[in-house]
Amino acid sequence: MITISLLGAGVLSQHLYYALLENSQCELVQWYARKPDQIAAFRETVTTTDRIEDLLPADIYILAISDDAISSFSNSLPVLKGLLVHTSGAINMHQLPKRFRRGVFYPLQTFSADRPLCFSEIPICIEAENKEDLTKLKQLAQILGCKTYKMSSTSRSHIHLAAVFVNNFVNQLYRIGHEITESQGVNFDILKPLITETAAKVQEQSPYRSQTGPAMRSDIKSIKNHLKLLEDNPSKQELYQLLTKSIAKTHGKKL
């Protein structure tokens, strides 16, 4: 039985709360939030507090707060016996104070307040200062059903960057797709099966092998036509050109 204390009241905390609550192999001993109202609704199922002085003993303290607050908040904490981990992709483990046993437990996923997620499908990047703590984090991940990836803070920052490409940037391309369909009075629904299939395809074969389209075929005529359709929109045009070049470069195609 691993005992857990949850620090922070954001979206990730709530997902962790539900994942931990259901689990018989770990116990959520306490949930801390700066503003008690934020977690008042959960008071019947978990001990809550808004005072860091009242933190109960736990094997692992999971700090799920915004990147900017990690350093100052963790510095304000009293002495804790357990392992203190943050959950950020971008922050170095060493931003946690030296006086703690330190680690990282970074779930690589996008969390929304209103979309339930199957926590067991989330890959967890873990880091710790010693083998024992690393084993503990691995155990916690396994209890939650998650696959772990042990990596340094530097590697994690690169993986976080990759996540920005396949999540935020991909989503912005969806947005551009939405703008184009809207400009033609066509419902965005028309693109949804293609979006689903594009994501499904790379679950089974590499993005390299999955690529198709005008840049891949060196189809200069189609590319010119598309650039013409975008001539009133220089920023979309620039993106089109850069992504087309990127595909051509990856696949050794001439344009």
CA distance 124 to 108: 6
Q: What is the DSSP string of 70-118?
A: HHHHHHH----SSEEEE--SSS-GGGS-TTSEEEEEEE-S---TTS---
Of the pair 37, 208, the CB lying nearest a copy of itself is at 208
Under the criterion CB under 8 A, does residue 181 sit at the interface with a copy of itself? yes
Out of 112, 113, 131, 231, name the contact with a copy of itself by CB under 8 A.
112
Under the criterion CB under 8 A, does residue 72 sit at the interface with a copy of itself? no
Out of 25, 72, 75, 110, name the contact with a copy of itself by CB under 8 A.
110
Which pairing describes strands 60-63 and 48-49: parallel, antiparallel, or unpaired? unpaired
| Residue 78 CB burial class (10 angstroms; 0-12, 13-18, ≥19) | exposed
Interface stretch with a copy of itself, choices 18-26, 55-63, 128-136, 246-254 (CB under 8 A) = 246-254
| Residue 37 CB burial class (10 angstroms; 0-12, 13-18, ≥19) | exposed
Out of 34, 174, 253, 255, name the contact with a copy of itself by CB under 8 A.
174
Binding mask 6-45 for a copy of itself (x = CB under 8 A): ----------------------------------------
Of the pair 59, 127, the CB lying nearest a copy of itself is at 127
Q: Which two tokens stand for residue 53?
A: 């002085």
Of the pair 24, 235, the CB lying nearest a copy of itself is at 235
Under the criterion CB under 8 A, does residue 168 sit at the interface with a copy of itself? yes
Taking the complex as a whole, how short is the minimal distance between the CB of residue 6 and a copy of itself, in angstroms?
Answer: 21
> How many alpha carbons fall within 13 Å on the CB side of residue 138?
10
